Amino acid sequence: MSILVNNDTRLLVQGITGNSGATHTRGCLEYGTHVVAGVTPGRGGQLFDDKVPIFDTVVEAREETGCNATMIFVPPAFAADSIMEAVDAGIELVVAITEGIPVADMMRVKTTLTHSDSVLIGPNCPGIISPGESKIGIMPGAIHKPGRVGLISRSGTLTYEAVDQLTKLDIGQSTCIGIGGDPVIGSNFVDLLKIFREDDKTDAVVIIGEIGGTAEEEVAEYVKTGFEKPIVSFIAGATAPPGRRMGHAGAIIAGGKGTAAEKKIALKSAGITVVDNPADIGVSVQKVLK
């Protein structure tokens, strides 16, 4: 079983005619994702690759195709409005791949989300994939294998590394989600752990965190409330000096808080397996599943 995306997902792509949007739409189609519509204002009535209808608005696409998820490849200056357009149209799952969306814009998005039933993944993320069922985003589908381990990550590259290790050990994945590394994102670790908790086909979860913020400490507090599935975690950025931003905008240590050491202590206190080397993620999952 998977969470959030599956064989019933009907995908809309906002920004389908841009270079990145077109490239990764084709990647999703090749994987087997049901891409049913695209949105590019002014291109309504056209077809993408002679098969996917393009609409001027999300509302039109929703009414005509019944799309229930959207992938956003819209330039940063307009991406927040695109997210809110999808939310206002009632799209259940919004996956924002765009990076560089201003924090102030994302604060407006967060307010809009509180008054909706939509789930936002991202922005600045690689997306989500339920192996063998559906892919939304830029993850390399070939390295994934259907199975019973969930994965949530702030780092796109380390997502691929962890998945590759799992697959080579014949450990399949239920759903893999890149939540993004920006200071303001849609869904955090705890939001998604709550969904994995209810999924009877997910036996364990991998969490890949980073320095900065309090997301991993919040995981520890949530797990202490009774999350019973084993979790394996890795925290990137252990050698980063205080005050230095490392890669993601959210990965910055401020005032001595958000260090890798602090996060590891918190996670271990909740009974979570913490690995110091990303190369040990796969074998550690293998151990907790025995």
User: Could you count the other beta carbons within 10 Å of the beta carbon of residue 112?
Assistant: 17
The reply to whether 144 belongs to the active site is: no
Residue 155 contacts residue 208 (beta carbons within 8 Å): yes
Counting DSSP H helices and E strands in the chain, the numbers are 9, 14
DSSP state of 280: G
Instruction: Name which of 215, 212, 204 is nearest 271 in CA terms.
Output: 204
> What does the buried/exposed string (b/e) look like for 131-167 if buried means 16 or more CB atoms within 10 Å of the residue's CB?
bbbbbbbbbebebbbebbbbbbbbbbebbbbbbbbbb
Q: Are 179 and 185 in contact (CB under 8 A)?
A: yes
Residues with active-site annotation: 248
